[in-house]
């Protein structure tokens, strides 16, 4: 009973986290759109919705998806997007997330307990990119119906932000939920807090400073976290960098290389930078996790083999002792009879 209650509570927390993340992503996407004056410079919401499709079963999946789409409709309507857009655009997001989830589970091994570098690469190339391209076709067609004039521009506004946003969010969520599958990277809460606090401070420093090009510092910092905390830590690190970089660039901060660019171009470069940090961290962490798991399995098998050999030797010793005692028993009896 206690275990069932624990599972239910954990699932409720997961549902609430995914729905809350989806709603926050919709708000972030709308704020970025209004900041640069164009549609969907970054759309991370579909990553949360695809995670709903992958991680939740049956009724909780349906309930979470309905809650996500309802939140999006209300937020977009409150932002002034109109009833048609607020009603129809979430359906395109549902199509994109559902297609990405189906491809990820069917062909990319997203349901595995641990995600290797191969599975992460397949997730991006075999699920996220095709789903974003297909959703771009649907979204561009809907945009044309609602008044857009350039189909290619509309497709670009749907496909590229969706692919980039889902590529940042979905692998991170799948790895974070599976953090317990990486016991070799379990660290103390103090070390984890110190690592991420340092990363947060460094990220803010890098994007506040407009004089020196310090963005390269994020790569060794995230590599350190990848070494100490493994793929889940690397995923969280990339997500932290993205969540710091986007608001800072939107507010006008950033390294000197972004100076002179428009808001849309600056945000797109910041998105590409955050994605590159995430993928570089995962590239370092995933093979290391596989090697450490293999080492743990080899050591475990060696320990089990040594224990089995020790038990076999003990059994042989006891069998020899039993045979010796049986052989000596008649001899003692004969001596007693003679006496």
Predicted local distance difference test score (pLDDT) of residue 3: 67
Please provide the size of the chain in residues.
Answer: 339
Q: What is the pLDDT of residues 252-308, one digit of tens each?
A: 777 766 666 777 777 777 778 888 888 888 888 888 888 887 777 787 787 888 888
Instruction: Return the H-helix or E-strand segment holding 84.
Output: helix 83-107
Helix axes 2-36, 263-338, angle to 10 degrees: 160
Helix axes 129-145, 83-107, angle to 10 degrees: 160
pLDDT reading at 66 higher than 60: yes
Is residue 40 classed exposed, middle or buried when 0-12, 13-18 and 19+ CB atoms within 10 A define those classes? buried
Mean pLDDT over 104-126 rounds to 89
Predicted local distance difference test score (pLDDT) of residue 242: 84
Instruction: Give residue 339's pLDDT band: very low, low, confident or very high (50, 70, 90).
Output: very low
Q: What is the pLDDT of residues 186-199, one digit of tens each?
A: 889 899 999 999 99
Q: Indicate the range of 45-59, 108-122, 189-203, 260-274 predicted with least confidence.
A: 260-274
Predicted local distance difference test score (pLDDT) of residue 135: 93
Predicted local distance difference test score (pLDDT) of residue 106: 92
Closest C-alpha to 291, from 185, 170, 173, 180: 185
* Residue that wins the pLDDT comparison between 49 and 41: 49
* Residue that wins the pLDDT comparison between 249 and 74: 74
* Residue that wins the pLDDT comparison between 132 and 146: 132
Instruction: Return the H-helix or E-strand segment holding 274.
Output: helix 263-338
pLDDT reading at 247 higher than 90: no
Q: Are 59 and 11 in contact (CB under 8 A)?
A: no
Mean pLDDT of the chain: 84
CA distance readout (Å), 276 to 125, 140, 218, 268, 279: 15, 27, 10, 12, 5
pLDDT reading at 333 higher than 80: no
Helix axes 58-78, 45-55, angle to 10 degrees: 160
Q: Are 172 and 239 in contact (CB under 8 A)?
A: yes
Predicted local distance difference test score (pLDDT) of residue 149: 75
Closest C-alpha to 279, from 133, 165, 171, 129: 171
Instruction: Give residue 92's pLDDT band: very low, low, confident or very high (50, 70, 90).
Output: very high
pLDDT reading at 170 higher than 60: yes
Instruction: Give residue 39's pLDDT band: very low, low, confident or very high (50, 70, 90).
Output: low
Mean pLDDT over 19-43 rounds to 78
Query: Which pTM was predicted?
Result: 0.81
Instruction: Give residue 35's pLDDT band: very low, low, confident or very high (50, 70, 90).
Output: low
CA 70 to chain centre: 24
Predicted local distance difference test score (pLDDT) of residue 338: 44
Cα separation, 303 vs 21, whole angstroms: 44
Mean pLDDT over 30-54 rounds to 79
């Amino acid at each position: 009973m206690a275990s069932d209650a624990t599972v239910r509570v954990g699932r409720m927390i997961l549902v609430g986290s995914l729905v809350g993340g989806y709603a926050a992503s919709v708000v972030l996407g709308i704020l970025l759109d209004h900041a640069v004056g164009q549609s969907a410079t970054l759309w991370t919401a579909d990553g949360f919705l695809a995670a709903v499709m992958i991680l939740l079963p049956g009724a909780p999946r349906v309930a979470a998806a309905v809650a996500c789409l309802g939140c999006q409709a209300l937020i977009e309507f409150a932002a002034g997007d109109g009833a048609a857009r607020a009603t129809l655009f979430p359906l395109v997001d549902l199509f994109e997330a559902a297609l990405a989830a189906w491809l990820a589970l069917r062909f990319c091994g997203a349901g595995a307990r641990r995600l290797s570098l191969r599975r992460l690469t397949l997730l991006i190339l075999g699920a996220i990119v095709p789903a974003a391209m297909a959703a771009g076709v649907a979204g561009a067609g809907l945009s044309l119906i609602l008044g857009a004039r350039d189909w290619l521009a509309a497709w670009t506004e749907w496909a590229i932000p969706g692919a980039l946003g889902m590529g940042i969010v979905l692998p991170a969520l799948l790895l974070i939920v599976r953090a317990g599958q990486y016991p070799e990277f379990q660290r103390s809460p103090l070390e984890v807090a110190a690592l991420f606090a340092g990363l947060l401070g460094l990220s803010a420093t890098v994007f506040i400073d407009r004089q020196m090009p310090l963005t390269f510092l994020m790569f060794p910092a995230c590599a350190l976290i990848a070494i100490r905390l493994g793929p889940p830590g690397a995923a969280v690190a990339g997500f932290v960098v993205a969540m710091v970089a986007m608001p800072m660039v939107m507010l006008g901060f950033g390294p000197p290389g972004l100076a002179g660019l428009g808001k849309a171009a600056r945000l797109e470069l910041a998105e590409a930078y955050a994605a590159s940090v995430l993928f570089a961290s995962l590239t370092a962490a995933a093979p290391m996790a596989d090697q450490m798991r293999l080492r743990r399995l080899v050591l475990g098998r060696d320990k089990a083999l040594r224990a089995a050999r020790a038990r076999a030797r003990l059994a042989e010793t006891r069998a020899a002792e039993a045979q010796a005692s049986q052989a000596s028993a008649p001899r003692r009896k004969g001596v007693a009879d003679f006496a």
